[in-house]
Amino acid sequence: MTKAEYNISELDVNAPPWRYNPSSWRQRIPICLLAGIAFLIASYMALYQWRLIGDVWDPVFGEQSRQVLDSDVSEQMRRWFRIPDSALGALAYLGDLVFGLAGSTRRWQYRPWLVLLFGLDVIPLGIVSAVLVVMQGTVVGAWCFLCIVTAVISLLLVALAYDEVWSTLLYLKRVWAKTRKSNVVWNVFWGRASRDANEVALVA
Amino acid sequence: MWARVVEVMLGCWLAVSPFIFRHSAEDRALWVNDLLSATVVIVLALVSFWPPLRFAHIANLAVALWLIAFGFWASPYPTPPALQNNVVAGLLLLMFAIVPNEANRPPRPWRDFKHSNRIN
Q: Is residue A102 part of a domain?
A: yes
| B63-73 pLDDT per residue, tens | 999 999 999 99
The stretch B14-20 carries a mean pLDDT of: 96
The stretch B36-62 carries a mean pLDDT of: 96
Q: Is residue A69 part of a domain?
A: yes
Which chain A residue is nearest to residue B96, measuring alpha carbons? A98
| CB of B93 closer than 8 Å to CB of B111 | no
Of the candidates A78, A91, A191, the beta carbon closest to that of B92 is on A91
pLDDT of residue A4: 54
Region at A140 (left for phi over 0; alpha for psi -120 to 50; beta for the rest): alpha
Of the candidates A6, A78, A102, the beta carbon closest to that of B106 is on A6
Interface A-B: count of C-beta contacts within 8 A: 77
| A43-72 pLDDT per residue, tens | 999 999 999 999 999 999 999 999 999 999
Q: Is residue A9 part of a domain?
A: no
**At B103, which helix (H) or strand (E)?**
none
- Secondary-structure percent of chain A, ordered helix, strand, coil, rounded to 5: 70, 0, 30
Cα–Cα distances in angstroms (integers) from residue B114 to residues A10, A50, B73, B82, in the given order? 10, 51, 48, 49
Cα–Cα distances in angstroms (integers) from residue A78 to residues A72, A152, A169, B84, in the given order? 10, 23, 34, 11
A135 pLDDT tier (thresholds 50, 70, 90)? confident
Higher-pLDDT residue of A7 and B97 is: B97
The CATH number linked to A50 is 1.20.1440.130
Q: Best residue in B75, B105, B115 to probe A by mutation, most A CBs within 10 Å?
A: B105
Q: Is residue A10 part of a domain?
A: no
| Average pLDDT value for chain B | 93
What is the extent of the structural domain holding A52? Answer: 15-201
Q: Is residue A168 part of a domain?
A: yes
Q: Is the dihedral of CA A186, A190, A196, A200 positive or negative?
A: positive
Above 70 in pLDDT, residue B19? yes
The stretch A139-149 carries a mean pLDDT of: 91
Name residues whose C-beta falls within 8 Å of residue B118's C-beta, 6 or more positions apart in sequence. none
In whole angstroms, what is the distance from residue A29 CA to residue B51 CA? 30
Of the candidates B71, B92, B107, the beta carbon closest to that of A191 is on B107
B120 pLDDT tier (thresholds 50, 70, 90)? very low
Asked if A82 is an interface residue toward chain B (Cβ–Cβ < 8 A), one would say: yes
Inter-chain contact B109–A101, Cβ cutoff 8 Å? no
Torsion of CA B69, B74, B78, B82, to 10 degrees: -90
| Domain definitions of chain B by residue range | 2-119
In chain A, how many domains are there? 1
